[in-house]
Structure 1
């Protein structure tokens, strides 16, 4: 028998969610008290927050509850990694319609916990409220473990621009879903559950990255944040990107330029970083451009006239 959140009540909901959450080595006090306590061996805590709103960031007919949990956790964990830190904990605020099946909230908790578990982090607390709009707000915490944070403002002319992780897959999957299709599965699943290179953040910090960012809203737009913060120009090469057959086929079938997905699509959460020239990069880091004098972002040395990425208010 299905049970709604209204029937379970607030504390019934909390009890069922907490029962699905594990505990990690960094969690000293988990859910159940007024606040959690998380180990920060470095003495510094990196923090980030993000919010997912139904109808704006996800649709329940496109994503199951576990998918939404993975997406909500991943968006925050990627920001921690982009600072060069190791994620340690998540705090989750959940606002839900009272008539929602409690199974959906449990699935969300499973997805949050599973994604956090990929990096050894755990959900350590949060809050719940009734709301006509389903909303998931997540705060992530991280530990630098002795490294200096990699910010957006350290790029210098002559640095190389490199990318670690998939790009364009989630945007292609979103287009496929928005056109009423459910295949190719590779692209649709990339939208539902991005595959994020969390360990690449601390790796880049150890390699001497001068600037870094989580690509969540579009590569050109997010590289623009580095360019602005560093007061430099960045040029991206189109030929640096692989175009998978399934993406090429989907683009042809849907009448879309696939480079719009690669250069302006978001939600894959790869990490983009700049490195001093001569740094020996591991194979998972692909050089895609260069830092130069000037400002803004160009493609193959020319201004980009297409969309740059996602803007919530545009």
Structure 2
């Protein structure tokens, strides 16, 4: 069966029937709007859009992976503010001939990624479209903390990262070259491209440690840290020796003839977190110091010239 066989309201009922609600959702799907608790008195909100053929391909990724990815990239934005995600709402455009099994998998992906952080799919909308279009808005609770902005970096601060870097870019290259399934290492980076694993708890942890600036790495570390440098009116200097290239990324780079450090520095969609801390903060082992904040502008990599700096939708 396809979504066209079921009809709009049958599709809505099918989706909502697969979505349990967590404690933060006071009123879930079924009314004109959801009601989500905001114990802090403030709500962190982020939204993102995924288009078939630009952000994912159905011949590369199943519905479940797409659902996990769509939820993850929004939940990571909330964590990057130092907040704990509570819920998402989803706008969904789908073709009438989309198989119901793909829709079920997509819904389960939304649900299961939210479950990782204790959040819920609180509602959304569905319409007919020639291709799959997904709009996700995520909500979060600061739990009494100040939000961690991009504008707090100052000369003398240290730059640290947590989470995977380079995996998603490596996976994209492997898929593009038709090498998926070639080895466990290649399968690992392909899986990372299809379904990122953001270090969600590290966002609130960084805020509690005293992070002065933070963001999630969605468009490439150099590009994203450039936003911190610009918002803070500073320069950032990165040490290329501080980055450990993971073995699966190195294997993929060898297979396709690429520079693995280039993927680490400029590859997006891993949704690692990058943060700036005062130098006196003792960071847990989960954070790796990779550079420092200096006087000046922009982001430079010590002793290395980098061409492409990350993803730009309009380049």
When the two structures are superposed, what TM-score results if normalisation uses the length of structure 1?
A: 0.98
Residue 58 of structure 1 and its aligned partner are, at CA, apart by 0.1
Distance 1:69 1:83 in 2: 22
In structure 1, list runs of 5 or more residues that go unmatched: none
In structure 2, list runs of 5 or more residues that go unmatched: none
Aligned pairs (5 A) from 1:47-62: 47-62=45-60
Distance 1:246 1:42 in 2: 41
Partner residue, 2:256 = 254
Query: Greater shift after overlay, 96-105 or 291-300?
Result: 96-105
Residue 249 of structure 1 and its aligned partner are, at CA, apart by 2.1
Distance 1:201 1:246 in 2: 25
1:242-291 deviations in whole A, cap 9, x for unaligned?
11222212212211111111000000000000000110001101001000
1:15-36 deviations in whole A, cap 9, x for unaligned?
1111111110101000001100
User: Secondary structure in 2 aligned to 1:227?
Assistant: helix
User: Secondary structure in 1 aligned to 2:288?
Assistant: strand
Residue 190 of structure 1 and its aligned partner are, at CA, apart by 0.7
Partner residue, 1:89 = 87
Partner residue, 2:20 = 22
User: Secondary structure in 2 aligned to 1:105?
Assistant: helix
Could you tell me which of 188, 191, 194 is aligned with 1:189?
A: 191
Residues 1:309 and 2:310 are matched in the alignment: yes
When the two structures are superposed, what TM-score results if normalisation uses the length of structure 2?
A: 0.97
Partner residue, 2:124 = 126
Distance 1:253 1:191 in 2: 17
Aligned pairs (5 A) from 1:90-239: 90-183=88-181, 184-239=186-241
Aligned pairs (5 A) from 1:272-291: 272-291=274-293
Count matched residues: 311
Distance 1:118 1:75 in 2: 13
Residue 301 of structure 1 and its aligned partner are, at CA, apart by 5.5
For the 8 Å contact 1:235–1:301, the answer to whether it is kept is: no
Residue 305 of structure 1 and its aligned partner are, at CA, apart by 3.2
1:138-190 deviations in whole A, cap 9, x for unaligned?
00000000000000000000000000101001110010001112141110111
Distance 2:100 2:92 in 1: 12
Q: What is the root-mean-square deviation in Å for CA atoms of aligned residues? A: 0.9
1:25-84 deviations in whole A, cap 9, x for unaligned?
101000001100001100000000001100000001111100000000001000000000
Distance 1:60 1:35 in 2: 30
Q: Which stretches of structure 1, 4 residues or more, deviate above 3 A after TM superposition?
A: none
Distance 1:111 1:88 in 2: 16
